[in-house]
Amino acid sequence: MWHVILNKFNKHPAQEKVVRLLVERGFQVNSAGRVVSGHIEIPHTQIAAEVGVDRRVIDSTCEAILSDETLADIFRNLHTIPFLKDVAPALGLGVVVITPGDASETGILARVATAVTRHGLSIRQAVTDDPYLSEQPLLTIITDTKVPGELIEELVKLPDVKGVTVY
């Protein structure tokens, strides 16, 4: 998906910045050319301020998205998810963040999930950063309880794991 999007905006770096923000936040572009999250409209001036571009760049990016059938389909169907990482400690949940050696390798999530379940923990949420969107993609696992030290030791030894951070 990402290469399709980038190919459309590779000659327009300001619009590419806008598109990156839309994808990272899961914002949609509705048929009226407005940026929305569900049915909540996000003012183009606020997006422009966040990205550091003029509001007209947001307008033209939305127009470009709607003028391309593939892009329009992608951006009509993006969705956000509630990411529990920052609230997990307050909820009594565990958080472990895995830094992979090479995020494009297959099976990292499976090996981490196997290790977590071997220690009797349930995974409440698993969120991976897309290696095409993030320079340093991470795998964040939210568990039903705090993460025991033995699990951390096991995770560090996994072949594709470069680092482990526990919150």
Contact (CB, 8 A) for 101 and 60? no
One domain, residues 67 and 32: yes
One domain, residues 39 and 102: no
Token duo for residue 107? 């099976």
Q: What is the pLDDT of residues 99-128, one digit of tens each?
A: 999 988 899 999 999 999 999 999 999 999
CATH of the domain at 99: 3.30.70.260
One domain, residues 132 and 70: no
Q: What is the pLDDT of residues 29-56, one digit of tens each?
A: 999 999 999 999 999 999 999 999 999 9
Q: How far apart are CA 72 and CA 81, in angstroms?
A: 20
In a domain, 82, yes or no: no
Q: How far apart are CA 69 and CA 25, in angstroms?
A: 21
Structure pTM? 0.81
Q: How far apart are CA 95 and CA 99, in angstroms?
A: 13
In terms of residue numbers, what domain contains 104? 89-166
